[in-house]
Amino acid sequence: MQNNQRTIFEALKWASSLLTEAGRDQNAAELLLMHVLDLSRSELLARFHDQLPDEQDRLFREFVTQHKKGVPVQHLIGIEFFYGRPFEVNKHVLIPRPETEEVVLAALNLMSDIFPHDQPLKAVDVGTGSGAIAITLALEKETLSVTATDISHEALAVAKRNQQALGADVHFLQGDLLEPIKDQGIKVDLFISNPPYIAADEMGGLSEVVTKHEPVNALTDGRDGLWFYKRLVRDLHHVLHEQAVVVFEIGHKQAQDVKTLLLQSFPAADVRIVKDINGKDRAVCAHIKTESPAE
């Protein structure tokens, strides 16, 4: 009887060609097959000429077809890596982006510049989603006590599972932006947020992989992209210690607007714009040291 099994190499070649024709990332084929076979990339490459068992081949074909239709690879395999750690993701949370790792690094560096290394500090991550920012901060800086908020119960459920899986100490609160922090009278040394910042008129330019499968209310404010920054900056003085670090992730066109918002409320702040590895404005960071924010 003829053997119709494909080799791993043949399966990858087929998938890469199919995904490229569909305008998808051909590297997704490797990620999907690594998941199906439970192999690392080096192990996969070493077994290029092995036969692909029928059941794994069937599942691989199904995943490739789903991704061709627009389902994110991360939803098919259930995780995305952030700061070298696996985070569960699903339709209720944004898939963490590599650019956001640079925002976390900027926050850690700014805190190191301003505060003594052994000083106990408090942080809040607003709009935590999968918990990637909050959990990473807690794991990277042991002296940091981290609270994270989100308005979505479903997102917080994902974040809590990630916290448990990764062994992080993060306190989660459900509520709208800074409201749960204000309600509990919490004061922090670090405020960080990656709010929905895509303007409504820019949503049409996004891939359907994003718009059809990630939570729209975590992508856009339905307005000009600045609405959440305005609301957050307005309330910051309620939750910051007299000396604090503020870090916003931003869209590449929003740096000056967000910087202006911060300086209007905190005229004495040292506000910096941080670019990502691609040279695009990615974060607005502020060192705030004031007792009387401007009204």
CATH of the domain at 204: 3.40.50.150
**Cα-Cα-Cα-Cα dihedral of 272, 273, 277, 282, to 10°?**
130
- 3-state DSSP helix/strand/coil % of the chain, to nearest 5: 45, 20, 35
Query: How many structural domains does the chain have?
Result: 2
**Domain boundary at 77, 107, 131, which?**
77
| Structural domain includes residue 46 | yes
Note whether 48 and 93 are same-domain residues.
no
In a shared domain, residues 25 and 113? no
User: Does residue 3 form part of some domain?
Assistant: no
**Are 106 and 208 within one domain?**
yes
- Please give the annotated binding residues for S-adenosyl-L-methionine, written as ranges: 127-131, 150, 194
* β-strands 188-193, 79-82 pairing: unpaired
Q: Which residues of the chain have pLDDT under 70?
A: 1-3, 290-295
In the annotated binding site for substrate, the residues are 194-197
Asked if 154 and 17 sit in the same domain, the reply is no
Contact 282, 258 (CB under 8 A): no
Confidence at residue 4, expressed as pLDDT on a 0 to 100 scale: 72
- Asked if residue 294 is part of any domain, the answer here is no
Please tell me the predicted confidence (pLDDT) of residue 291: 56
CATH number, domain containing residue 67: 1.10.8.10
Same domain, 100 and 192: yes
| pLDDT attached to residue 1 | 37
- 163: Cβ contacts below 8 Å, ≥ 6 apart: 131, 135, 169, 170, 172
> What CA–CA distance (Å, rounded) separates 245 from 111?
7
Residues 152 and 243 in one domain: yes
Residues belonging to the binding site are 127-131, 150, 194-197
**Residue 27's domain spans which residues?**
8-77
Indicate if 91 and 160 belong to the same structural domain: yes
Give CA–CA dist 20/56, Å, rounded.
22
Predicted TM-score (pTM) of the model is 0.91
